[in-house]
Structure 1
Amino acid sequence: MESKRISFEIEESIAYLGFGYNCTKSMTTLDEETLQELSDRLDELHKNKDIKGVVFWSHKDRCFLAGADINLISSMKTESDGASGAEAGQTIFNKIEDLKVPTIAAVHGVCLGGGLELSLSCKAIVASDDKGTMLGLPEVKLGLIPGFGGTYRLPRKIGLPKALDVILTGKMLKAKKAKRLGLVAGVYPKERIKKMASFHFGGDEKKGGLKESLEHIASDNFFAKKIIFQKARESVLKKTKGFYQAPLKILDVMEAGIMKGRSSYLAAESQAFGELCVSEQSKNLQHIFFMTETAKKYSGPESSGNLPRLKKGAALGAGTMGGGIAWLMANNGMAPLMKDLTPEALELGYKQSSSNFMGAVKRKRMTRDEFERKQRSIQGQVGYDGFERVDLVIEAIVENMNIKKSVFSEVETKVRKDCVITSNTSSLSVQEMSTALENPERFAGLHFFNPVHMMPLVEIITHDKVAPETLEALYNWCMKVKKTPVIVKDGPGFLVNRILMPFMNEAGFLLEEGVPMKDIDDACLNFGMPMGPCRLLDEVGIDVGEKVAKIIHDGLGDRVKSSPFSSKLVEKNFLGKKNGKGFYIYDKRGKVEGPNEEVQAMLPKTKKKMDETEIQMRIFLPMINEAATVLADGIVESAAQVDLGLIFGIGFPPFRGGLLRYADSEGLERLIKAMEDRAESVDKDRYTPCDFLKDLAAQKKKFYDV
């Protein structure tokens, strides 16, 4: 047959099937055509009595197989569709497993999901030592169970405890780690990977050591299995709080099927896949996947000139944010300068970057030598020496407009004409800042979220004179340093902080009404937020929150007015985690010890019992309304950008698909009625639905229809 997607060669009685043949995409996936062609080739191999072995490999430099085509998964409308799709894939992979000759997967590049499930169907897997070679089963992150036999074969390959860890976390494994787990038989240079596969045809995979043997013996014991699954279930519930269906479904299938044969086990796996793939939760997580993929491509104003090359960086300001930004630059080979006014201030920046690097060392993601090299690449200084060599400056000094403008006027004289200058401001007008520069076209806002090393979002803030080349260069740089960028227009609070403000403001009003702090934070946690508004305000800094709240109130009016309670806390020097006292008390390591009783004493003595759902409505309705005004004001262009910003910026629960996707699912007419009710009973300014939202409902449209 003619090869369309998979090359087919026979050399010295060895069949070589190469994925990615005639494929223009950088990542190869298992779409319908590829699966059908693979099935046909396997039928040929079953009939060929002269074949002595089969090697699966890839023509792509960065991808073995990136799994099943998610467009195919998202197109499934019924449980039956999903189950049938999984069964079809299982049938094909069973053909690989049932071949009477040795089969080897020669993995170079990304090998995920269906790609790893195919590899597990082989007698052995070998992998390249390239840093881009990654193996894993990330289906759980899409609200799915591996549906092509992954939950059946992986435990039999590496043992139950290790398999559960890989499947339930969706983690990706580098080749050497995969070899230590027993998943990979050999690790070789990428140039030799295809040839070295044949060396494993003798079936002489190195057996695991005593520890691995004991693990397999232990997990074969009925009572040991019961304990393993019990501990895994406890761990899942602790991490996910029971919000996510897929990990629990995976455990159910694996535990019920642990003693079953292949056909009955795979039938249960495919049925579970069908149930999950059409669930609202999985559809929401698939939606986030597509949003994230879209965000990888720059779609801002079109550039006509050459893009600035951002190779060497500088951080202006060396506090928590400045040190975090210097760490980000150093971690990406930019050998940054870090400038501040005093050696003491520089020491704070060094402390922050060192802490970030040391965390990677403790997690074994970085060696001590790498830590030393990268930390030493940060050059702290109190002057502008070397700024003429810098391509990107990120300012992270005090949130004071006059001081910032003065610094920009000064730094512009110290750098080249093509150097991009940015501000990490969280609330001040980028438009006004731009007036301080003679060449504002190379200036923009670049708002990171704290802590820099953990928060993935970056807001790129525009103004009316910024050059498209500046925006595209910054966008590409954010992607290079593994951040998720969203381009937003200038305005009070930009995107995320503007919508976040009602979340924290409303908590203050509820506290003043007598609703207990624990009830407020618990209601938000039970909605799926990573932390409640009181705890979040402590994390941000109550003084910082109060300052930003005033800026946003001045710019947007009384619909975002804040409770005066924060001001009372700042007066008493209750600033939050930074000084150990806020709504909660913190130990020296920043761990919560308990509620701050002095703050509790400042609250109404008569406590108000409020239904959890009502607390959630009080907090999230103003956020939805403000998100609608963000779209109306053109701060961003789409509901997807709003949702991407809130998921990656404040941890809005991914299983809900984003704030506006959640609003669409609840029904805009219902939400407007709820707002109007509270406009009458609670506060007219904070709850009156905006015209944009009412117009959508009147036209029977949703946010995602715009």
Structure 2
Amino acid sequence: MTYKRLSFEIKDKKAFVGFGYNCDKAMTVLDEETLKELQDIVEDLHSKEKELDGAIFFSHKDRCFLAGADINLFDTMHTAADGQAGAEAGQTIFNRLEDLKMPTVACVNGVCLGGGLEFALSCKSIIVSDDKSTGLGLPEVKLGLIPGFGGTYRLPKKVGLPTALDMILTGKNLNAKKAKKVGIADEIYAKERLLDLAPKHFKKKADKRSMMDKVQDAATDNVFTKKIIFQKARESVLKKTKGFYQAPLKILDVMEGGVMKGRASYLTTEAQAFGELCIGEQSKNLRHIFFLMEGSKKMDDAKGVGRSLKRGACLGAGTMGGGIAWLMAKNDMFPIMKDLNQHGLELGLKQASSNFSGAVKRKRMSKDDFERKMRSISAQTDYRGFEHTDLVIEAVVENMDIKKKVFAETETKVRPDTILTSNTSSLSIQEMSKALEDSSRFAGLHFFNPVHMMPLVEIIKHDNVSDETVESLYNWVVKTKKTPVVVNDGPGFLVNRILMPYMNEAGFLLEEGVSIKDIDDACLNFGMPMGPFRLLDEVGIDVGDKVSKIIFDGLGARLASNGIGKQMLEKEFLGKKNSKGFYLYDEKGKVTGPNDEAWKMLPKASKKMSETEIQMRIFLPMINEAATTLEDKIVAKAKDVDLGLIFGIGFPPFRGGLLRYADTQGIARLKEEMLKFADSVDKDRYTPCELINKLASDNGKFYEL
């Protein structure tokens, strides 16, 4: 029998089954046709059990064994019964694979995720390559799902309950070394030798895990201990997710409830849970974000003119410059970090060192690599070596005249093809470009602070920027594993412009007599990572005040500021940077409690408002402003807004993004609420923009534009 998606060959009494056969895609997935062919092959293997010494499964793709089930299949499941049936179909195939009496070996080289790992777990043995691309995990929880092909049943049996829970509830990936250590992989080989050495594993080897691992397995293999493990896991999940995410709690319910069940009964429960989650709004939103992220890895309308940026430099050190230098060093750019004085350079090196040290503590980097990366950063007060750079990122003080002067000087120190960028958070890129003789190679490149934690980078265009510059920057941002969003120049660009109503409206509510606690709690309970006052402390109250003035000057009355910031600055309450803002902070930057001095100075809490009303007051102006960014062509599509807010300010992913949330709520309904607040609160801040009016009258959606 011949197959389109899988190769099947019998040689020397060994069956070789290869995924990704005749597939032109980089990643091999379990789509409907592949699953059907796999089912036929497994049944064929059952019929040939007496003739074969064993079966070896591998991939024709160099860096991918199996990337899991085809996520597009989930959108074809319209009811919980559809989802359950889909999961049960996969379970049936994997059960038949597991039930083969002959030895079966999964030869994993590259990505082995989700259904791919569930498939491998159904084999008698798993061997992995030492290639850096090799990674094994069950990331379904990140899509709002439970592994549906038997992963929650088989993984605990392979690695023990604590390790399995850690992997399934976090969706983390394990490299080859870690996979062997926890017991998923039996052995690690060079990728070129996997198939040749696979027959060695036809005879199951003894468990090579450490005695400590075996003792731990024995200690956890009783009902009482498992109850404690699940209790602790549930507490951890609730602490991390605040109960917003359904999938991890459903996973715990299935795994805990299945402790005493046999395979058939357990897998039925797993499939039922998959079906319920698959059709839920939360999983749909998280899958939507997955596709947005995948789409962001390639620039829309790219012309193929981008070039590689290999050497980098940062103008201005300090915290931000040090973070940018760290990113460049991490990506082997041997960066130059230039500042006017030694003190700034020391702060920059301290920041870079702190970022790398965190990776060492988490065992993601060796001490030798730490030393090598830090040595690759050249900290200096002059322009030595700038003639060799491909990319220069400016991160000096937020002053237009100073920035123009710096660029005019830098342009004479670099090659004609060196790309020059500014990390400004609010100043006009169009105006800044006037300082350069050749502005076509200049753009904004706005990182969010802290650089090592915030994934978003705004690439800001101006009238004369070249396609080559924008594409080169886009490709470089993707290469550094950040998420790029291309925006046109305008006050606040994209994220800060939409963020301003979030912080502004909180101040207006405070002036009306709503308490800081009620406002912050309402936003936290909506799913935001921090309330507006806590966020303002993080940004810096002085920085927020400066940016708000720039945005108000550019956009007018709807972005008018409240008077809270001015009151705070008069008392030198700057936020986290000087440990005193709306909250107090310790030496490590952790909140120690409210700043009573500030709270007593601010308007007294005299008004009780429902949580829902607070949320509507704060998020409706954000939706309205997001719509104006589309009207003003700051960004091209709704997806750009949602990517920017999810990765720039942590807008709750389970809601799918600000504009997807608006679509699900109904634009017409939101318009009605805006009009009510325009009458009762403020006309300028709540009057719907033209795009909102149009979508409401046409029963349209942002994602249909």
TM-score scaled by length of structure 1? 0.99
Q: Following TM superposition, by how much is the alpha carbon of 1:3 offset from its aligned partner in structure 2, in angstroms?
A: 2.2
Q: Deviations over 1:69-88 (max 9, x none)?
A: 00111221111111111000
- Structure 2: which amino acid aligns with 1:65? L
1:26 corresponds in structure 2 to 26
1:601, distance to aligned residue in structure 2 (A): 1.1
Query: What displacement does 1:207 show?
Result: 3.7
Q: Secondary structure at the match of 1:421?
A: strand
> Residue 122 of structure 1: SS of its match in structure 2?
coil
In the alignment, the residues of structure 2 paired with residue 166 and residue 218 of structure 1 have an alpha-carbon distance, to the nearest angstrom, of 20
Q: State the shift of 1:300 in Å.
A: 4.3
Counterpart position of 1:69: 70
Are the aligned partners of 1:316 and 1:338 in contact in 2 as well (CA < 8 Å)?
yes
Q: Does 1:14 align with 2:26?
A: no
What secondary structure sits across from 1:231 in the alignment? helix
- State whether residues 151 and 167 of structure 1, in contact with CA within 8 Å, keep that contact through their aligned partners in structure 2: yes
Letter in 2 for 1:46: H
Contact 2:426 2:547 in 1 (8 A): yes
Cα deviation code 1:89-128 (max 9, x no counterpart): 0001111101111111000000000000000000111100
Quote the offset at 1:308 in angstroms.
3.4
What amino acid does structure 1 have at the position aligned with 2:32?
E
CA distance in 1, matches of 2:585, 2:692: 41
Shift of 1:462: 0.4
Provide Cα deviations, 1:342-386, integer angstroms capped at 9, x if missing partner.
Answer: 011111100110000000001110011000000111001111111
- Post-superposition shift, 1:700? 1.1
| Number of aligned residues | 704
Tell me the equivalent position of 1:80. Answer: 81
Q: How far did 1:215 drift?
A: 2.1
Residue 39, structure 1, aligned to residue 39, structure 2: yes
Distance 2:617 2:665 in 1: 15
Three-state SS of the structure 2 residue aligned to 1:435 is: helix
CA apart distance, 1:647: 0.3
Aligned to 1:174: 175
Q: Residue 96 of structure 1 aligns with which residue? A: 97
Q: CA contact under 8 A between 1:308 and 1:418: conserved in structure 2?
A: no
Tell me whether 1:664 sits opposite 2:692 in the alignment. Answer: no
Q: CA deviation at 1:294?
A: 0.9
Gaps of 5+ in 1: none
Which residue is equivalent to 1:151? 152
CA distance in 2, matches of 1:68, 1:169: 18
- Give the SS at the match of 1:54: strand
Distance (whole Å) between structure 2 residues aligned to residue 308 and residue 159 of structure 1: 48
Instruction: List runs of 5+ in structure 2 lacking aligned partners.
Output: none
Instruction: Give the root-mean-square deviation of aligned CA atoms.
Output: 0.9
Q: Distance in 2 between matches of 1:104 and 1:221?
A: 30
CA offset digits 1:669-690 (Å, max 9, x no partner): 1111111111111111111111
For 1:295 and 1:168, locate their aligned partners in 2 and report how far apart those are by CA, in whole Å.
26
1:556 deviates by: 0.4
In the alignment, what sits opposite 2:120?
Answer: 119
Give the residue type in structure 2 aligned to 1:15.
A
SS of corresponding position for 1:119: helix
**Residue 638 of structure 1 pairs with residue 637 of structure 2:** yes
Task: Answer yes or no: is the 8 Å Cα contact 2:306–2:475 preserved in 1.
Answer: no
Note if contact 2:487-2:635 (Cα within 8 Å) is conserved in structure 1. yes
CA contact (8 A) 1:300 1:471 kept: no
CA distance in 2, matches of 1:686, 1:551: 17
Structure 2 residue aligned with 1:496: 495
Note if contact 1:86-1:273 (Cα within 8 Å) is conserved in structure 2.
Answer: yes
DSSP 3-state at the match of 1:314:
strand
Q: Which moved more, 1:365-374 or 1:200-209?
A: 200-209
> What is the aligned partner in structure 2 of residue 652 from structure 1?
651
Alpha-carbon offset, residue 401 of structure 1: 0.7
Contact 1:300 1:487 (8 Å CA) reproduced: no
Q: Is the 8 A contact 2:668 2:695 kept in 1?
A: no
CA apart distance, 1:32: 0.5
Letter in 2 for 1:150: G
Aligned AA for 2:68? G
Give the Å deviation of 1:160. Answer: 0.7
Q: Are residue 295 (structure 1) and residue 296 (structure 2) matched? A: yes
Does residue 241 of structure 2 align to residue 240 of structure 1? yes
Secondary structure class of the residue paired with 2:435: coil
Give the Cα–Cα distance (whole angstroms) in 1 for the partners of residues 475 and 104 of structure 2: 41
The residue that corresponds to 1:562 in the other structure is 561
Q: Once the 2 structures are TM-superposed, how far is the Cα of residue 301 of structure 1 from its aligned partner?
A: 5.6
Between the aligned partners of 1:704 and 1:205, the Cα distance in structure 2 is: 55
Whole-angstrom CA distance in 1 between matches of 2:197 and 2:71: 32
Q: Which residue of structure 2 aligns with residue 256 of structure 1?
A: 257
> In 1, Cα distance between the equivalents of 2:112 and 2:679?
56
> What's the offset of the Cα at 1:27?
0.3
State the one-letter code of the partner of 1:55. Answer: I
Q: Give the letter aligned to residue 10 of structure 1.
A: I
Partner residue in 1 for 2:111: 110
Match of 2:320 in 1: 321
Separation of aligned partners in 1, 2:221 and 2:606: 55
Map 1:576-595 onto structure 2 (within 5 A): 576-595=575-594
Greater mean alpha carbon deviation, residues 4-13 or residues 266-275: 4-13
CA distance in 2, matches of 1:265, 1:308: 53
Is 1:391 matched with 2:395? no
The amino acid that maps onto 1:209 is: S
Question: C-alpha deviations, 1:190-233, integer Å up to 9, x for none?
Answer: 11112222111111143433222222222221111111111111
CA contact (8 A) 1:492 1:555 kept: yes
* 1:219 corresponds to: 220
1:541 aligns with 2:540: yes
Distance 1:516 1:257, change over 3 A: same
Partner of 2:196: 195
TM-score (norm 2): 0.99
The share of aligned pairs that are identical, in percent, is 69
Aligned residue for 1:115, secondary structure, equals helix
